[in-house]
Amino acid sequence: MTFDENYQIQRFPAARPGEPGFEQAVEWIRAVNHGFHQPKRTLEQITTALGVRLADDREQLGVYQRGSVAEHSFPAERPVATFGTLRKDVNIGFGKMLPALLVTAVTVRASHRRRGILSRVMREELGRAQQAGLPLAALNASEAAIYRRFGFGVSTKERKITVDVGPKFKLNHTDAGRVESVPRQVLLELAAQIFASWHAAQPGSVGRSEGYRYQAAGMGGWGNEDDDNVLAALHYDAAGVIDGYVSYRFLGWDVSPGTFEIVDFVTANEAAYLALWGFLASNDLVERVSWATAPPENPLEWALEDRRCVRLVDEKDMLWLRILDVVAALEGREYSTDGELTLEVHDRLGFGSGSYRLSVAGGAVQVIQLDPGTEGSGSQAAVPSGDADLSLDVADLASIYLGGVLPSTLLAAGRILEHRAGAALLAQRMFAVEKAPFCASHF
Ligand SMILES: CC(=O)SCCNC(=O)CCNC(=O)[C@H](O)C(C)(C)COP(=O)(O)OP(=O)(O)OC[C@H]1O[C@@H](n2cnc3c(N)ncnc32)[C@H](O)[C@@H]1OP(=O)(O)O
């Protein structure tokens, strides 16, 4: 039996209680929770989560069984697979933004796995996004072996760190502003605007869900419990303008040494960032701060007299990027140096297959699609193909696109093939961005 004989796809928005579609949205959330082995949520928690989904303008996709379902199994109204999407801008370096389809809540019920459901839905949704003119797609992956086959490449990473804020913590930073402890609820109002300043200046950043300001304030926006243990502090610059916040919780007297866990930490500039670290470290009775989503390139390490106060606990891939329109993506970038590169791009799903000549002269960017590939995506007329300088998968193009993964590393790994000596190094210099890319938005 084919997919279409067994299943049907439905797409729908979130809804509030009493509105049409509310029951369907509730069943969809329950399917997501089941897929991620999460504890059952109350209707109230699901309603809160749906409120965030509405505010984000998310689309829910469900795959439903056709005909009758197996006796005693979940009802036909409960989708066997889920796939959520929303749209946000990605900072692609030097303050430039491109819109992306963000893919989230991907689950297939265990008893329906490995029948090609994800493959079918992914191909369809990426195709629709490309048709709608979105040059990029992105996701956070639960496992690293799933998404490369669909053209997604790792573009940013994040670190879990602990910071020793005991006597060894000596920060070489003099703050021109000040820090104040504040009621956590003020972040509901302030978090989004501070994030917007950070986002505008941070390559690799993806626009944030509405849920984040609730999370920052400890107010359970994604259907979690309100958490009165969350504490908050703001940084004010010399002129009194609020330019950063940190929210955190004390892990309790049973944890030794006394530890703060960071909930959210966003600043519009490095001075506020370092000042808030100074504030965290200045708290009595606390000798450790843990942070599960820290940037790999962390100015804190270099502002400390003893950089070993920052200890790496774990590092993992964070943002997986997918280029849907190679011409638009390459044209959208600002490049760190002039140069000319011909890229032969392979794309198993066909969206970006083809050869592209990228020319940057005096900062002006021109991209010509030379060979449209099998299902090429370029908007320009095809002209005869020249010899490629580099051959690479569209997933690897996504990895080097934000400057976070070096072409020389992918060359050494055999992922990129170099046909002209020095082409990988030129790509490295051209794709470099103004600071290490980092994404602070899980979705
Ligand atoms: C963006 C996010 O939401 S990330 C969250 C992803 N979801 C989860 O981790 C929840 C638990 N897992 C699942 O629900 C499912 O196993 C999914 C969604 C990962 C895969 O769904 P399926 O319908 O089984 O995938 P499908 O049958 O289309 O498989 C596609 C390919 O991916 C491979 N694949 C699927 N899951 C995995 C995995 N976990 N690890 C490695 N490979 C995988 C399949 O073997 C297949 O390979 P092929 O193309 O070489 O034949």
pLDDT digits (tens, 9 = 90+) for 206-243: 999 999 999 999 997 776 778 999 999 999 999 999 99
Does the annotation list 114 as a binding residue?
A: yes
**pLDDT class of 62 with cuts at 50, 70, 90:** very high
ipTM of predicted assembly, 2 dp: 0.97
Does the annotation list 345 as a binding residue?
A: no
> Could you tell me where in the chain the CATH 3.40.630.30 domains are found?
3-134, 158-316
Question: How large is the average pLDDT for residues 124-141?
Answer: 98
| Protein residue with least CA distance to atom 45, ligand 1 | 114
Determine the atom of ligand 1 nearest the C-alpha atom of 36. Answer: 10
Distance CA 410, CA 388 (A): 17
Q: Looking at residue 224, what is its pLDDT?
A: 72
Of 64, 147, 169, 351, catalytic: 147
CATH of 326-392+415-431, one of 2.40.128, 3.40.1440, 1.10.940, 3.30.1050: 3.30.1050
Indicate whether 1 pLDDT > 90. Answer: no
Q: Could you tell me the sign of the dihedral formed by the alpha carbons of 267, 271, 277, 280, in that order?
A: negative
Active site residue 248: no
- Residue 106: C-alpha distances to residues 44, 77, 154, 263 (Å): 23, 18, 18, 25
Place of tokens 């708290």: 283
What distance in angstroms lies between residue 391's CA and the mean position of ligand 1's atoms? 27
Q: Looking at residue 226, what is its pLDDT?
A: 87
pLDDT digits (tens, 9 = 90+) for 157-178: 999 999 999 999 999 999 999 9
Ligand 1 mutation pick, 37, 108, 149, max ligand atoms within 8 A of CB: 108
pLDDT digits (tens, 9 = 90+) for 352-364: 999 999 999 999 9
Does the annotation list 142 as a binding residue?
A: yes
| Protein residue with least CA distance to atom 34, ligand 1 | 146
Report the chain's mean pLDDT, rounded to a whole number: 95
Ligand 1 mutation pick, 29, 36, 37, 106, max ligand atoms within 8 A of CB: 106
Q: Looking at residue 373, what is its pLDDT?
A: 64
CATH superfamily, domain 158-316, is: Gcn5-related N-acetyltransferase (GNAT) (3.40.630.30)
Q: Looking at residue 223, what is its pLDDT?
A: 67
| Protein residue with least CA distance to atom 43, ligand 1 | 146
> Could you tell me where in the chain the CATH 3.30.1050 domains are found?
326-392+415-431
What residues flank ligand 1, with Cβ below 6 Å? 35-36, 103-108, 113-119, 139-143, 145-146, 149
- Report the 10 Å Cβ neighbour count for 175: 18
Closest CA to 251 of 294, 290, 309: 290
Does the annotation list 255 as a binding residue?
A: no
CATH superfamily, domain 3-134, is: Gcn5-related N-acetyltransferase (GNAT) (3.40.630.30)
What distance in angstroms lies between residue 106's CA and the mean position of ligand 1's atoms? 9
What distance in angstroms lies between residue 115's CA and the mean position of ligand 1's atoms? 10
Active site residue 443: yes
Which of 42-46, 55-59, 86-90 bottoms out in mean pLDDT, i.e. has the lowest? 42-46
| Protein residue with least CA distance to atom 35, ligand 1 | 146
Q: Looking at residue 387, what is its pLDDT?
A: 84
Does the annotation list 373 as a binding residue?
A: no
